[in-house]
Structure formats: structure tokens, C-alpha cells
Structure 1
Amino acid sequence: MNFKLKGALGALTGVLMATTAIAQTELTVYTAVEAVDLPRYKEAFETLHPDITINWVRDSTGVITAKLLAEKNNPQADVIWGVSATSLLLMKSEGMLEPYKPEGVEALKPSFYDSEDPPSWIGQDAYVGAVCVNTIEAEKHGLAMPTSWKDLTDPMYKDMVIMPNPNSSGTGFLDVSGWLQIFGEEEGWAYMDALHNNIARYTHSGSKPCKLAASGEVPIGISFAFRGAQSKSEGAPIEIIVPSEGVGWDMESAAIVAGTDDLEAAQKLMDFAVTKEANEMYNQSFAVVAMPDVAKPVEHFPEGLEEAMIENDFEFAANNRARILEEWQKRYDGKSEPK
């Protein structure tokens, strides 16, 4: 090969490499999904779209929500993935979401996507409140098995209960919002006052209270049902209690951030979010998913939980979020773990 041809081929290779580098799109995706689950979503999507790279920015729901609101006038994210529907409704009201109708969205349950056309957000799966009780620790401390939320206010449970802080945890917020809807405003806050007397501490993670109950660090953790089922399948001596008054719940949801510079790539991620493949992946961590007839039975998932899910007023939760969180922090934040 002569030097001229070799040089020309080298130059062409350089141009092709540069073109490939330019063609690669990077999406910044804010998420509250458990860190252990993120690699499989990334791998599945990037296999379909090798020209797009997902860069996750992960934190708890409350932190992600606060971050997005703080960046409202200078958005840093392209897509929101696996953040509570109540948070996305708030952002929609602030004009922060880019409406988009993903291909195939009609295959989802109607309650799992925004009713406007085009929708501003789509739901992925539902996480449902429940109580994890370590049976060994409960027996050791002489604790009766609770059957209702109000049971947890009994003085026998003093310093025996852990729950998530709703300012940082979506699970914590669905509990608080749920209690205010179940009991009404006045009685709901009175309930939380009484429960606070028995709280050992508030965590900044929705799954942590159940994990701590599973490990025996605390007898009772207010968490979400799927985490309890996972802990039980791992051999933890826990019972998952569905309180008789009903349980709050929320959806992990996805949306495009208004103003993204990579709209086409963001739309492709939303298209992926509504596929059967994605819903089957959600089912690995959640018993209730957006697409009908996809979810397989989950071992140890408590009976009657779906029937106990309250008729959730997402608009109430979204519209009153700031007020509720401010009041909660004023009353109870003294027992929160350091961030």
C-alpha cells in the first residue's frame, strides 16, 4: 500500500470515528429507581438504541423532586424515570414536562397515564404501602401483631417503629398522603402525632424500614409491600401486614423534561418505557405494573393488598404536597436520620 493511499484511509477512518462520536447522544435521566435495578434498564434500552447512552442521576423521590423544581428555569435533566406520579403532576402544573404520546401507550391501563392527549407522563408500576413486622423481635418484646394503622399508636410499640421521611422518600409521602385521605385532615394529623410517639427514627429511604425490620434492628418497619415480599423470600422472619383501614400507593412514572436538547432520543426512551419488555422488567421489582396481564404472581405478596389500595386522589397529593411536607417537617423532623 503506498503512503498516499494509507494516508487517505487513515484520514477517512478519523472522519468516520469523529462522525460516530458526534452521532452518540447522551441522555441525563433523573431517577428514584433502586440502584440495583438501573443497569438492566440501561442495557435493554441501549441494546435497542446503541446510538443513545443513558446517564443516570439517582436519589430518593423527595430529593429528585426538589432538584427538578430548583432547576425549573435551567433544566439539567432530559428525562425523569421512576419518580412518583404525584411529583410529576406537580411538575406538569408548573409547565416543566414535554407532552408526548409514546407509541403503544394505549396498551397500558388508563389509570397509568395522563388523561390529556398527548399525555405529559406515563406510569410504570405501583408501589403500595404496608407494614413489615419481624416476628422474632415482636415476640421478644412482647408485641401483639398489629392489624391496623391505629394499632401502631399503642404505647406498647414505643420506639419500636421506623418509617420513611416523606420529604425525601416517595413511600413516606404516599403514607402521609394516604393517612390524610383515609382519616381526613384533622384526624390524620392527630394520628401522625400519636404515631410519632412510637417512632424510633425516620429514614430517607422507602425500602430501608422493611430492610431494618428484616435484619432485626427494629421490630416494625413502615415500607412498601414488594420490599417485604423480597425480604421474606430471602428468609427474613417477617410478616407483611395490610392495615385494615386501607393503604396509600403511588406510581413510578416517566416523563420528558420540557426544554431538553435531545427530544428525539428522549421520546425513544419513553417509547421503550411503555413496551411489554419494560413492563416485564418492572414486574421483577413490583407486583402491579402498567400493562394488563403482564405481572406474574409474586411469592409472599400479601393477599388482599390490591383491594386495600385507596381510591387515591393524586390531584390532592400533588396540589398540597408543599404544604403537607412543610407541616410534617415542622412537627416530626427532629427524629429524622442525618442526610
Structure 2
Amino acid sequence: MKTLPLLKKCRQALLGATLLLGASAAAAVTELTVYTALESDDLQKYAQRFQQANPDIRIRWVRDSTGVMTARLLAERDNPRADVIWGLAATSLLILDDENLLHPYAPQGVELLEPRFVSQQTPPTWVGMDAWVAAICYNTIEGARRGIPRPTSWEDLTRPEYRGQVIMPNPSSSGTGYLDVASWMQLWGEEQGWDYMDRLHQNISRYTHSGSAPCNLAASGEAVVGVSFAFRAARLKTQGAPVEVVFPSEGLGWDMEAAAIVRGTPRLEAAQRLMDWAVTREANELYNEGYAVVAMPGVAQPLPNYPTDIIDRMIDNDFSWAALNRDRILREWQRRYDGKTERR
């Protein structure tokens, strides 16, 4: 009969050991706070792919538009809340790098990336992921109903028939909006760039805070034309929206999504592992599911609704110029045009 109390004690000891092991396993999981401007419909996929290879690390996303995330990182410089930035414009990372907010690190395999997708510091302070490219969404049904033709160029959007029919992102909050403004100035020079935007402003219905919103609104019929970017335009068309994806003839502005470690993170080893994974072939294949141009040469496969010569259409973008002049350009843009920005 003494075996029963003994058996009970053994079970209790086993249960205690199991709970202790479970607690230890839970404690071994590191949570990384990752700031991003990636498209929200892809965040879960990105996290799942990374965590399959790194089951002891969990990602906690903090997402907003490019301008908002950049301002937040600058505001938190004395008390960083993020561990990693994964999916923010390279022009923003250049600003953060200039403020000494990024931790230098050369991810394993970084030498396999195209050089323009890697910062010029040694060791690099950021690495590129993919390029997102300017594009126009044109609603074919609403265009035909209202007698508004399909545009083929940036200049077309200043014509009288587009009055009140164009929606564009605000460059202060949207990385897509800023790449448009910066690219127009690089295409035509600052004076002609401002002249173009003065004329375009006459036809703008409103400026949005999101780079995706103009395409979404065009797809829903709320606007005929949405100035946006190719990823969102191509995905909406693939999903059956009545839109044509227009790549303006003058050339396409672009920026690259990039990743970096935030200086001062107490979870440096886990952050480095995320950076190591972010430059792998597997990660680049993942980026190519939505973007036609990725950091690792030889990976990108053609995507539906993108032109096969997309790289040739991208302007010779001076990221350093765009980053250095960002504050000045945005102040002037706000002075001229901010009255048509939608309120949050």
C-alpha cells in the first residue's frame, strides 16, 4: 500500500519537471520588436518564413507608413523601442544612419547581393531587400464612363480632363509619395519639378497618407487615377480589379526596402540572425513573390502585370541626394500643397 503515495510523489515530481522545462523553453524564446513599412498583407508571411528557420525567435511587428516610422525612430533615438528595421525605405535608413542610429553589421552572405543594395559603410549599416517602383492605377470602367483616357505619361496627369480625378500619396507620410517627388526633381531638375507639381496639384482630388491607398481607391472606383506603386497595382489587377497598371514613359522613380539593426538593442544576437536570414536566397525568393527587382542577382523571376524591362525603366536614383534634401523638399511641398491632404 505504500507504493501509492510513492507513485503520487513521482507523478508530482514529473509534472513539476515538465512545467519547469516548459517555462524554460518559453523563457528561451526571444521577441524582436521590428519596425516596418512593409505591406500589411505580407507581414504574417514574412514572420512565418523567418520563424520556421528560427523557432526560438518571435517577431512583434510595429507598422506604419514610411514617413511615420522614420519620424518615430528619430524621436526614439535616446530610448530606442525597436530592435530591427525590416522593410523601410533606403532613403530613410540613410537619414537614420547619418544620426548614428544603426548598428553596423555584415550579414552572412551579404557579398552575394548586388552592391547598390548594400550601404557603403564598412561594415554595412543596412542592406536592401527589393525595389519598389512608381506606377499609376487607372480604373478602366470609370475612365470609360467619364470619358477620361488612360494616361501614358506623368505629363498626361496635368491635362484638363484629369481635373479632380487624380489621387496621390502625401510625401511627408508616404515613402511612395516621396519617391515620386524626388524622382520628378531628378528627371527634370528642381525648378521644372515644382512647376510640374503645381500643374498636377490642380488635378489632385486629395493626398493620402498611404502609398497603397491611391491604387485601392482607383480599384474601388472612387478615383479614376491613383498614383501609387507597382506592387499594389499589379496585385490588385491580379485579384481582378478593373485597373490597368501604367508605367509612365518619362521614367520610374523607385526606392528600395531595406533592413538594419537599431543601435543599442539588448537583443543583438537575435537581431543579427534576422539580418542573416534577410539576405538569404530564400528571403529574396520571398521578396520576389511581390516585387520584380530584388537584392540578390539571378533570383527574380518575371511577375504578372510588370514589364519585362522594368529595370531599364527605373531612373538613375541618387539616394544620397534624396535623403540629404528630404526635409527641405517636404517643407516646401507642405507649404504649397498640404491643403488637399486627407485628415487622419
Give TM-score scaled by structure 1 length.
Answer: 0.96
Rounded Cα–Cα distance in structure 2 between residues aligned with 1:8 and 1:214: 62
Residue number in structure 2 paired with 1:103: 108
Shift of 1:204: 1.3
Shift of 1:312: 0.3
- Percent identity reads 60
Shift of 1:303: 4.9
Given candidates 207, 212, 216, the residue that maps to 1:207 is 212
Given candidates 20, 26, 31, the residue that maps to 1:26 is 31
Given candidates 128, 132, 136, the residue that maps to 2:137 is 132
CA contact (8 A) 1:125 1:286 kept: yes
Summarize the alignment of residues 1-339 of structure 1 with structure 2, pairs less than 5 Å apart.
1-2=6-7, 4-339=9-344
Residue number in structure 1 paired with 2:3: none
SS in 1 for 2:231: helix
CA contact (8 A) 2:211 2:228 kept: yes
CA contact (8 A) 1:160 1:219 kept: yes
Aligned residue type for 1:239: E
CA contact (8 A) 2:28 2:56 kept: yes
SS in 1 for 2:216: helix
Aligned residue type for 1:48: A
Rounded Cα–Cα distance in structure 1 between residues aligned with 2:152 and 2:67: 29
Rounded Cα–Cα distance in structure 2 between residues aligned with 1:245 and 1:303: 17
Aligned residue type for 1:308: R
SS in 2 for 1:251: strand
Rounded Cα–Cα distance in structure 2 between residues aligned with 1:313 and 1:47: 37
Shift of 1:143: 2.1
Rounded Cα–Cα distance in structure 2 between residues aligned with 1:3 and 1:234: 60
SS in 2 for 1:247: coil
Shift of 1:268: 0.3
Rounded Cα–Cα distance in structure 1 between residues aligned with 2:308 and 2:7: 76
CA RMSD of aligned residues (A): 1.5
Shift of 1:2: 4.2
Change in Cα spacing, 1:137 to 1:11, as seen in structure 2 (3 Å) is: closer
Compare 258-267 and 242-251 and name the one that shifted more: 242-251
CA contact (8 A) 2:302 2:308 kept: no
Runs of 4+ in 1 over 6 A off after TM superposition: none
Aligned residue type for 2:279: V
Aligned residue type for 1:229: A
Q: Which runs of 5+ in 2 are unaligned?
A: 1-5
Compare 96-105 and 126-135 and name the one that shifted more: 126-135
Shift of 1:114: 1.0
Rounded Cα–Cα distance in structure 2 between residues aligned with 1:78 and 1:285: 25
Shift of 1:62: 0.9
Change in Cα spacing, 1:93 to 1:3, as seen in structure 2 (3 Å) is: same
Shift of 1:210: 1.4
Compare 140-149 and 100-109 and name the one that shifted more: 140-149
Rounded Cα–Cα distance in structure 2 between residues aligned with 1:263 and 1:221: 41
SS in 1 for 2:85: strand
SS in 1 for 2:248: coil
